[in-house]
Structure 1
């Protein structure tokens, strides 16, 4: 069965201590797990997708403008991948480059308004592995859409973090109980 890894929003604005909308220490503590997971998928020639939040400054039409401070603004350092993950993305070999993709997402789910489902289906992917932030927001909405599209789902609990510890724990249970996801 072909599988893909979705790295959700592991950027400076969501992870760094001075990030505009940081999950802080919980997100920083999963960096080595995200790197290890990403390297493993690259090594086995599985699809690796960096699904990264994209915003324009002061966009009056985007619903998140009223909910959160400005974050992941186009062209800013805040939108860059955090820590060692950035080096992996920037230094991938030419041979492995065809398995790695960056998608801009403008909603919580990596599927909303993107061609992600078409991309995965065209490559025969049946199982999606998800890591990143925030567990109970973007990871959750992406998992729900993956479920609704019929993908098998694996959530990597040691490679996910949230602003809200209670929301993180709730989402992990929801993945398993309501979406039938495998949580490891």
Structure 2
């Protein structure tokens, strides 16, 4: 069984940038999974720090309105890994999931950590590179010209254990609707 993880698509992240293309890809993938009756699991990150845009009871911690309606199941976390101190592993076991698809925010933190953690737990993992996004830039890391999403995708791809696809490759290889 395959399942889709939609990680940290929350107001406190999405409202910090222009993520229309990433969100559009996520919506299409979500609809594709739902049309095949495959599980779509949302993950929400919470911080205890009051100044955080993801503080537990803030508007920033709420799922972004563009995807909120699709959230049938939500796992809450407080670390970059969607598995650490959450019920995700037991939920996936209960659903019989063997293959996880990763989308969401931030590419280089929660998406990457979750992908690696999933592999470590024995899941086949597909990371849909351009269905992830980040609020960070090359300036954040003081690495001029760094394309964070491409860099993370390359690192995961080179690991030779995590499948990395762009949206179009996902459609070609996995979607029932090849005309998306």
The TM-score normalised by the length of structure 2 is 0.80
Selected match of 1:48 from 40, 44, 47: 40
Higher relative contact order (CA 8 A, sep 6+): 1
| Matching of residues 1-184 of structure 1 within 5 Å | 2-16=1-15, 22=16, 24-25=17-18, 27-58=19-50, 70-89=52-71, 100-162=72-134, 163-164=136-137, 166-178=147-159, 180-184=161-165
- Please list every run of 5 or more consecutive structure 1 residues that lacks an aligned counterpart in the other structure: 17-21, 59-68, 90-99
CA distance in 1, matches of 2:4, 2:160: 18
Report the Cα offset of residue 88 of structure 1: 2.8
Aligned residues: 156
CA spacing shift, 1:128–1:156, aligned 2, 3 Å: same
CA distance in 1, matches of 2:160, 2:109: 15
2:129 touches 2:150 (CA, 8 Å); kept in 1?
no
RMSD value over aligned CA atoms?
A: 1.6
2:129 touches 2:149 (CA, 8 Å); kept in 1?
no
- Please list every run of 5 or more consecutive structure 2 residues that lacks an aligned counterpart in the other structure: 138-145, 166-180
CA distance in 2, matches of 1:88, 1:166: 29
The TM-score normalised by the length of structure 1 is 0.79
